[in-house]
Structure 1
């Protein structure tokens, strides 16, 4: 008698991008403790891949991780992917039973929203696996509950973020931009960076998008030289005061001819804009030779948001 093979366990694989803040403008904290932001995100082709697989009823959320620095990723309910699966299950009334495998491609704790990309990918993957049928707007609403950067990981490409960074408006861009990132093995605490920003701020005002007119024009023109000149991060001085060694990383990139260089988000990653892919590789090699980074990553942007893979 021929024995039939067991049917494969249903699974879904989703890819979501990391990001760089081309501009990050921060206002004084409000009564709820949040800082009002105006930021311009660009998704980059350093990606997280999440595979969601069905498990027996009552198994709960099971997490596994692979990739660079995966030992630094929590595997409990503090993980954003775990929280995303539970939130979606609660909202649609299904059991939160799923095995999630995270393949890391975004530096961990580097201000590039790798955890947020995991959460966005998990929302898309579990929505498909459980056939919940939520709209992308529904998923964006759930993403905003999980964290300020999660909605952008769903949207991708380039966008203006306001509020806590979670209210998004797509930005018109032309062409491809080449990036290289210098990362450090030891991270920076985002709350600590914001706390130092508050200490240093002298009457911080509510940020306005009009302050980034030159940057938006550079994106529309596809002009990397103009974009490099317009990069901005209000948190950079705070990050540098906590990690003075990052100043050398910035200087080495400038000496290597970067069109623009800045601390990415709350750090400690440093992002440099290059003229071309070859120039990005040259900046990366210089960072390595000078010992100004623990790891370097070359990539490009903009990249698409969270999407199902065949």
Structure 2
């Protein structure tokens, strides 16, 4: 009798791997929607694929939305809320104004998911899945996404302005912002690799061309011929919104050219180039990822899971928004 009981217990344990995933990811599990909305990943993937086919840049935009969400109050889709009632939208914050985009793609995914399984899948999980699918579509690594996040009922404009690393922050400031979120120097260098795709505006690196340290001199750590090229479309004044590829070698392909560019002083943003010039551990990682894209891909996937686990709302916290732009 005791033997059959223990066999039953073992077989039950074999059937429920869920609990192990949930414990390891703060209540999140890749199997979270297996029964309640089994087609969710398929739906997200197809809408993202359509959007990226229409405009390659959208992959980088969706990836960036997830970053900018997680660094403010955790991965809770607060970035998607429009201003209304007592909510001042994070879309108005400096890191997002005139640059955060892809909201319509998230709306389209949400409406397709709502048709399939009403009020089941959070906007926060949709953002996380869209970031993974964007990476894969651009040629980057794939990973299993822990799910089960819920949506915030509030936004934080000040959190957006203060917590998101800025292109002109010092290395130490950027690292501190990462550490406050439970991420380390390895995560910082690997996640910066998302700049292998996408664009930056002239306004986000202009100081490097004309006035890096406030003495009217350009940044000595920027390749001079590259700087001359950038100046043609990023003048001392005007052209703020002019776009430049973050990785001019393969701007729409997720690869390790970003790190190779940094090694030859052609990182576009100050926050890119300081990974090589201001910290030894970080410099070693830049060299390692420039040399071996496989190592970069593996670490990027791990760091994305780690970032996606920043302070999620789970259980009865928050809500499942019907419309990602407003609370229920």
Q: TM-score, normalised by structure 2?
A: 0.27
Structure richer in helix, relative to its length: 2
Choose 1 or 2 for highest CA Rg: 2
Structure richer in strand, relative to its length: 1
